[in-house]
Amino acid sequence: MPPDTPGALSGAAPLAVVAVRALCEFTARHGDLDLRFTPSPTGAEGVAGHGAVTARRGPGYQREVPLSADFGTLRVRGRADGWDPAANRLEEIKTHRGDLARQSANQRALHWAQARVYGWLICQANRLEQVELALVYFNIDTRAETVLTETAEAPALRAFFEDQCRRYLAWAAQEAAHRAARDAALAALAFPRPAFRAGQRDLAGAVYRVARAGRVLMAQAPTGIGKTLGTLYPLLRALPPDPRKADGSAPGLDRVFYLAAKTPGRRLALDALASLRERPGQAPLPLRVLELTARDKACEHPDKACHGESCPLARGFWDRLPTARQAAVDAVEGAGGTLLDKAALRTLALAHSVCPYYLAQELSRWADVVVGDYNYWFDSAALLHALTVQEGWRAGLLVDEAHNLTERARAMYSASLDSGELRRLRVVAPPALRRPLERLSRRLGDLRRSLAGTYQAFDALPDGLVDTLHTTVAALSDLLAEHPTLPASVAQAGADLQGFYFDALAFLRLAESFGPHALVDATLAWPPEPGRRPPPLRLTLRNVVPAPHLAPRWAAAHTAVLFSATLSPREWHADLLGLPERSAWLDVPSPFAAGQLTVHVATGLSTRWQDRAASCAPIVAVLARQFGQAPGQYLAFFSSYEYLQQVFDALAAAHPDIPAFAQQRAMDEPAREAFLARFTPGGRGIGFAVLGGAFAEGIDLPGDRLIGAFVATLGLPQVNPVNEQMRQRLEARFPGRGYDYTYLYPGLQKVVQAAGRVIRTPDDRGTLWLLDQRFARREVRALLPGWWGGAAPGAAEGPQA
């Protein structure tokens, strides 16, 4: 059989290169979106499953066999999971959970399509007339293999391969044209402002250099210099190949991912991208920008399950996707040149009767810039990371407000089991599930009875727990696959069976990697009392150092920039986030002068927990005096809602003439917007907020919308058994730094972020009151911004602490 394919390239470079999996996912999916046969194993579990299968094969078996073939201007390539020359058998290995009989027909068809494309590639490479194809399904939980086989003739496989290529070629040509137009336009992209702000050019230059060098950069840049635009602009300029390397040795980036901790950060990025795309007198820049939104916020039918028998937007999803996908591209690159943000995506998706959330997931493959939450890259099942690895992209990351990443990553890699939730589930569970739940409940009950108090940490997971949890998860998997819509009785009892299933899976995954970077602890809801039912127990696998989980994510990106106004001390973030040793550092000087911010320290005041009741009257006196001397709008920050409310009530009683309003627990987006809307130009009043909360960072109130702030705490985390365990583990890992890494640095980071709300532009003037005598300590002052200058001591009426 000749090695070439009709229409193959004659030594010319291909117009487009596509992976086998991506080709088949584009051409071979049909029918309904169906998530009943879920969840899939994680990437790490998939790799381990492939290894387990191939380890069972005999001598001569070949693993990860590189193959490729050309059709027209398209090159298709990939790595076949397994090839047994002696048996003339090619294996496509898939890992799964649950009963394979419940797998949807369109998912099975997709797997066969991949196997047949690889079948042609192996036939062409080895001049075979026929080959045996095997789909090998490996159950992650039971370790059992299910093998489906077919014998295929080379001509039939060749015809199948060519058909898939023909269906992809038009899209590939469109993508190549887009890439060329995008790179040409970005190579000539001008900065969209008349001039860089002070410090902004230094930031942009550093971002561009690390992008070309393929390094990680930590950039500490003060509020107000335009960090969003100052990082996006240079990274977009790094998308085209380096013009200084005409030999093609320095290709550009494939994708830019802007990762934010909160919704306002995403909005700022989208606004900056909109300004970058504008070209006066021309069509907008040919740059595809996509916003990813959480599933619960994008779902149109939250009362329905994600399959065609339940949700109308899942019915026929794969059949309607090609038209919707092309419409999305046309909307971006047409005369209007829209950004595909949440609202635009919703409109487009509903016009084509497809799910907005899953349309966005599919468009992630074709966007140049994706704006989304941290979890889309750093979570264990992160979409953008998985696509980057699968497609071999050179990705550039921009991590906005990166000081938030440690706590977010800790949450991503922590998991809990709650005996109270188990108790509720046992009451309503179907008979097949009650016994596994009871066994797990007994395990937790044994642990509860062994505790010496209401909290205890352990060096290892309790004996037998993981095995019992595996059994429970297997039973839950079978039940949920058979009944994807939860029984009404379960919902009415307030228990979330599916939620518990995902919690249990997360716990098992983290248990496999448990080590000194984490701790396992048990907490009782209340002390055991005679005559009272046993207290619920929460068993938690608690991440302390995210570095082992995040280090592979930095390695998967070509370049990454972490930026924030508060990244000091540098080693604290680098140690906990697992940054590469060669990471660069930039500390952009502040454009603000000490004279813009008058800083006072209340040297006679303590806000320690035991002193808080006595501190209320002195704090109220400071607030009232400052407001009387300079009426205007202020923010007052406190360490908790309880402390906030105590001082708020005291101010209302002593000074009812001072307008005051307070942040409430669990404020939704409209309520947060209403709170900020009270800060009008020329207005007067004091807004009470929680330090580290929604109003302590990421908000912009320039001019006289905010003329001062009061910070009534050092922001140190509470000294409690959990934080003390974290301190001990951090001390063991980073000797001499346990206290600072647990308490001091996180607290003062919140203070600096909150104080940063006051001065936003070179024209702003304001006042900052640091309401605790500990702010006068030398070691504390060393961690505050140098441009604040010397703080004037301020009197705080009341007892000395």
Walk across the sheet containing 289-291 and list its strands.
289-291, 369-373, 255-260, 395-399, 559-564, 216-220, 584-587
State the amino acid at position 534 in one-letter form: P
Which pair of tokens denotes residue 502?
A: 């995902």
pLDDT average, residue stretch 487-500: 54
pLDDT reading at 453 higher than 80: yes
List the structure tokens of 8. Answer: 């193959």
DSSP for 140-167 reads: TTT--EEEEEEEEEHHHHHHHHHHHHHH
Give the Cα separation of 45 and 326 in Å (integer).
34
Of 705, 728, 699, the C-alpha closest to 565 is: 699
Residue 407 is encoded by which pair of tokens? Answer: 């706590």
- Is it the case that residue 800 has pLDDT exceeding 80? no
Per-residue pLDDT tens for 295-318?
A: 989 999 988 888 888 899 999 999
Residues belonging to the chain? 801
Determine the 3-state secondary structure of 562 from DSSP.
Answer: strand
Tokens of 700: 């912009």
Q: What is the residue whose two structure tokens read 């042609």?
A: 120
For residue 510, pLDDT beyond 70: yes
Q: Is the pLDDT of residue 736 over 80?
A: yes
Q: Which residues contact 458 (CB under 8 A, 6 or more apart)?
A: 519, 520, 521, 522
CA-based angle 364:227:589, to the nearest 5? 150
d(CA 104, CA 32): 9
The total of other beta-carbon atoms located within 10 Å of residue 510's CB is: 21
Q: Which of 484, 473, 261, 291 is nearest to 370 (CA)?
A: 291
At residue 487 the predicted structure's pLDDT band, cuts being 50, 70 and 90, is very low
- For residues 164 and 29, is the Cβ–Cβ distance under 8 A? no
> Would you say residue 570 has pLDDT above 60?
yes
DSSP state letter for 740 = I
pLDDT at 443 (0 to 100): 93
Residues of the chain by 3-state class (helix, strand, coil), percent to 5:
45, 20, 35
The span from the CA of 468 to the CA of 458, in Å, is 19
Q: How many CB atoms lie within 10 A of CB 84?
A: 16
Q: Which of 132, 134, 135 is nearest to 100 (CA)?
A: 135
Q: What is the pLDDT of residue 755?
A: 93
Average pLDDT, the chain: 90
Q: For the segment 223-259, what is each residue's pLDDT rounded down to a tens digit? A: 878 999 999 999 999 999 988 877 667 789 999 999 9
In the predicted model, is pLDDT for residue 261 greater than 80? yes
Report the C-alpha gap between 55 and 60 in whole angstroms.
12
Residues 485-499: what's their mean pLDDT? 51
Whether the CB-CB separation of 285 and 189 falls below 8 Å is answered with yes
Query: For residue 348, what pLDDT band results from cuts at 50, 70 and 90?
Result: very high
SS3 (DSSP) at 428: helix
Q: 3-class SS at 354?
A: coil
Q: How confident is the model at residue 3 (pLDDT cuts 50, 70, 90)?
A: very low
What pLDDT digit, counting tens, does each position of 79-98 carry? Answer: 999 999 999 999 999 998 77
